[in-house]
Structures are given as structure tokens and as C-alpha cells.
């Protein structure tokens, strides 16, 4: 009879446990093992009929393929859903002076979502991918924070509520996949461990790739989906952080683009010039005194006025108030603060 040294790869898919585990139990129960306490284990060679083994590997191969295609299918569905939601987001968060828009509410919502770092953390203590347990906690925090701030009830467009539900569902689906892969990974390593304990064949060290494959698969999926979420969906709603002046940390109203390409708000650029400071605070390039009115980046200026109208207005009033005080003294009041009194 032909014989083969046995290797075991076993996967559990969803909540169905395949009979490979039974197969494995039958194999290891029938195999001879050293049982004398204190004695070094005798290395055993397990012989199984080739037909039996081939059947085993075929089943195993099938399960791996099912798992992979399941993953591919799930990822494809998620990618499609994110694209569809991104298209809808264009209308929901469209900047408009005259029509109803949820631009500010979506911005706040995505800002909280980015803060939550549901699937990946950039904190020093827990840097990297999260496991399903901590991802679930972060997602819960995100949802409770949204509720606490009353963002959903303040949506002006009914379609925004539906879009929010879809956004949460995308996250839940990704979380479910992460959990599913973790269960597979635990199952694989437990089975290989049990197998090694009984046979001393070192299957765990021979198949680290197999144990790691479930982790890699879920990490790859989480990375791909999260990057699409931020690149395609969240980018539809520009965040304030990306348009802040690096000196005063408020919006770069009237943005001055230096020759080094860095942008400062006009107020900070003028302050530096008055102090005769020559060097860019970010790159130390000798650019500040060379800047003039031509350095105003009108494209970014229009973008800021369009997407951040409230912040731009507040900054304009603050800058104009400062100039007014310089010209007319501390008692100067900006026209927006003065009340008309009808006699």
C-alpha cells in the first residue's frame, strides 16, 4: 500500500464545521503515540492509505477555495457599495448657499469617524490594525458619539439618514469579516497544535503560512476597504485640518502660497513680513519677504469660501477687526458687531 506523511490544513467556514475535523480525529486516534510519562516522545511515522489522504487534501483544498472566493465576493460587494454611497454623498454634502445641504453635518460625522480609528490605529500605544474586539468597541464609540451630538436628528435631507445607515452597515460588514477570519485563524492553529501534540510532526512550524493566511486575508481586505472609504467617500467632504494655516491653526483664509509651495493665511504672512522674517516656518526656505499679492492662491481661496463658508467668514471678521483696531484704536468694532438702532 502506498503511504504518505500526513499534513493537515483545516478550516471552519462560517458556522458550519466540516467533517474534516472528524477525519482528523479518526486519523490521530488510530495513530500510535508515546504515552510513557517522563520519557521523550518517540517520533512516529503515521501511515495512511494514499487514497484516503488524497481525499482529505482535496476536501481541504476545496474549503480553502470556498473561503477565498467568499472573501473576494464580500470585498467586491463592499467596494461597490462604497462607490454607490460616494456618488450619493456628492449631492448630500454639496456646498450651496441657497439649497439645503448637510455639508457641515457630514463633515462633523466623518471627523468623529476619523478620530475613532475603527480598524487601524495611529496611536503610539496600539499602532496598527485592530482586532475585531477593539474595532467593535471603536465603532460603538463612534455611533454613541454621533447620537450624543444629535447629528442624525439635525440632518436636513432625509436621504442623509439613509446614507448614514448604509455607512454604518459597510463598517459592520467589514467587522463581521474580520471576526470571521479570526475564528478561522484560531481554528487552524488549534487543530495544528492538537495534531502536533499527538503526532510530533511539527505541522505548526511547517505551516506558519497557513496560520498567517487568515490574518493576511482579513488585514488586506480591511486595508483595501478602509483606504477606499477615505479616498473615495470621506474625501467628498473636505476636512478643515487640510486647509489650516500651520502658524495660527485656523482656516487659511486668503491663502498665500510661498515660492516653496507652502501655504500660510494672509494674516500670518503679513505678520512675518512686518517682523522682517525671511524664512518659511515649515521648510526654512528664503521665501517670506519675496511674497506679494500675486502669491494669493485664488483656486484654494475659492475652494475655502465654497466648502468652509462659516470658518472663512469668522476668520475674515477676525482679521478685519484686528486691522481696524490697529488703525482706529482698541474701541474699534467690526460692522458685523455693530447694531443698527432705529430712532
Applying CB under 5 A, the residues found at the interface with Zn ion are 245, 247-248, 260, 262, 265, 268, 280, 282-283, 285
Q: How many other CB atoms are there within 10 angstroms of residue 293's CB atom?
A: 7
Of 98 and 249, the one with the shorter C-beta distance to Zn ion is 249
Helices (H) and strands (E) in the chain, counts: 10, 6
Q: How many other CB atoms are there within 10 angstroms of residue 315's CB atom?
A: 22
**What separation in angstroms does the CA of 263 have from each of 71, 236, 292, 303?**
44, 22, 13, 14
Rounded to a whole number of angstroms, the minimum distance from the CB of residue 287 to Zn ion is 6
Of 39 and 242, the one with the shorter C-beta distance to Zn ion is 242
β-strands 255-257, 128-129: how paired?
unpaired
Rounded to a whole number of angstroms, the minimum distance from the CB of residue 153 to Zn ion is 35
Of 162 and 295, the one with the shorter C-beta distance to Zn ion is 295
Rounded CA-CA distance 172/194 in Å is: 33
Of 94 and 323, the one with the shorter C-beta distance to Zn ion is 323
- Sign of the CA dihedral running 82, 87, 89, 95: positive
Rounded to a whole number of angstroms, the minimum distance from the CB of residue 267 to Zn ion is 5
Rounded CA-CA distance 287/285 in Å is: 6
Rounded to a whole number of angstroms, the minimum distance from the CB of residue 326 to Zn ion is 17
- Residue 95 near residue 89, CB atoms below 8 Å: no
Of 262 and 334, the one with the shorter C-beta distance to Zn ion is 262
Q: Name the residue with cell 467533517.
A: 19
Of 76 and 290, the one with the shorter C-beta distance to Zn ion is 290
- Among candidate residues 101, 3, 106, the one with its CA nearest the CA of residue 45: 3
β-strands 263-265, 255-257: how paired?
antiparallel
Rounded to a whole number of angstroms, the minimum distance from the CB of residue 320 to Zn ion is 15
Rounded CA-CA distance 121/222 in Å is: 12
- Residue 174 near residue 222, CB atoms below 8 Å: yes
Rounded to a whole number of angstroms, the minimum distance from the CB of residue 297 to Zn ion is 14
Rounded to a whole number of angstroms, the minimum distance from the CB of residue 111 to Zn ion is 21
- Among candidate residues 194, 167, 153, the one with its CA nearest the CA of residue 82: 167
**What separation in angstroms does the CA of 284 have from each of 248, 259, 280, 325, 329?**
17, 12, 5, 31, 35
Rounded to a whole number of angstroms, the minimum distance from the CB of residue 286 to Zn ion is 10
Burial of 233 (0-12, 13-18, 19+ CB in 10 A): buried
Of 91 and 260, the one with the shorter C-beta distance to Zn ion is 260
Rounded to a whole number of angstroms, the minimum distance from the CB of residue 252 to Zn ion is 7
The span from the first CA to the last CA of the chain, in angstroms, equals: 113
Of 240 and 260, the one with the shorter C-beta distance to Zn ion is 260
Of 84 and 283, the one with the shorter C-beta distance to Zn ion is 283
Amino acid at each position: 500500500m502506498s503511504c504518505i506523511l500526513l499534513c493537515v490544513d483545516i478550516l471552519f467556514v462560517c458556522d458550519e464545521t466540516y467533517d474534516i475535523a472528524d477525519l482528523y480525529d479518526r486519523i490521530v486516534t488510530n495513530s500510535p503515540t508515546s504515552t510513557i510519562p517522563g520519557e521523550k516522545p518517540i517520533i512516529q511515522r503515521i501511515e495512511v492509505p494514499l487514497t484516503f489522504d488524497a481525499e482529505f487534501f482535496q476536501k481541504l483544498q476545496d474549503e480553502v477555495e470556498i473561503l477565498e472566493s467568499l472573501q473576494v465576493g464580500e470585498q467586491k460587494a463592499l467596494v461597490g457599495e462604497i462607490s454607490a454611497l460616494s456618488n450619493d454623498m456628492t449631492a448630500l454634502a454639496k456646498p450651496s448657499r441657497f439649497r439645503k445641504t448637510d455639508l457641515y453635518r457630514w463633515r462633523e460625522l466623518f471627523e468623529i469617524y476619523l478620530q475613532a480609528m475603527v480598524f487601524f490605529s495611529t496611536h503610539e500605544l496600539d499602532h496598527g490594525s485592530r482586532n475585531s474586539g477593539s474595532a467593535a468597541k471603536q465603532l460603538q464609540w463612534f455611533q454613541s458619539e454621533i447620537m450624543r451630538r444629535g447629528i442624525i436628528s439635525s440632518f436636513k435631507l432625509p436621504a442623509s439618514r439613509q446614507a448614514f445607515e448604509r455607512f454604518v452597515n459597510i463598517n459592520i460588514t467589514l467587522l463581521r469579516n474580520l471576526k470571521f477570519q479570526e475564528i478561522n485563524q484560531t481554528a487552524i492553529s488549534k487543530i495544528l497544535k492538537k495534531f502536533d501534540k499527538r503526532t510530533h510532526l511539527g505541522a505548526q512550524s511547517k505551516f506558519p503560512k497557513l496560520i498567517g493566511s487568515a490574518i493576511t486575508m482579513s488585514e488586506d481586505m480591511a486595508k483595501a476597504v478602509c483606504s477606499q472609504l477615505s479616498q473615495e467617500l470621506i474625501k467628498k467632504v473636505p476636512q478643515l485640518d487640510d486647509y489650516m494655516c500651520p502658524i495660527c491653526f485656523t482656516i487659511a483664509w486668503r491663502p498665500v502660497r510661498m515660492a516653496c509651495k507652502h501655504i500660510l493665511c494672509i494674516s500670518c504672512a503679513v505678520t512675518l513680513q512686518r517682523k522682517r522674517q525671511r524664512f518659511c516656518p515649515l521648510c526654512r526656505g528664503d521665501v517670506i519677504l519675496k511674497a506679494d499679492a500675486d502669491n494669493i492662491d485664488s483656486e484654494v481661496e475659492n475652494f475655502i469660501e465654497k466648502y468652509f463658508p462659516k470658518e472663512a467668514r469668522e476668520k475674515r471678521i477676525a482679521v478685519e477687526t484686528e486691522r481696524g483696531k490697529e488703525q482706529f484704536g482698541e474701541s474699534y468694532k467690526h460692522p458685523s458687531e455693530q447694531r443698527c438702532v432705529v430712532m
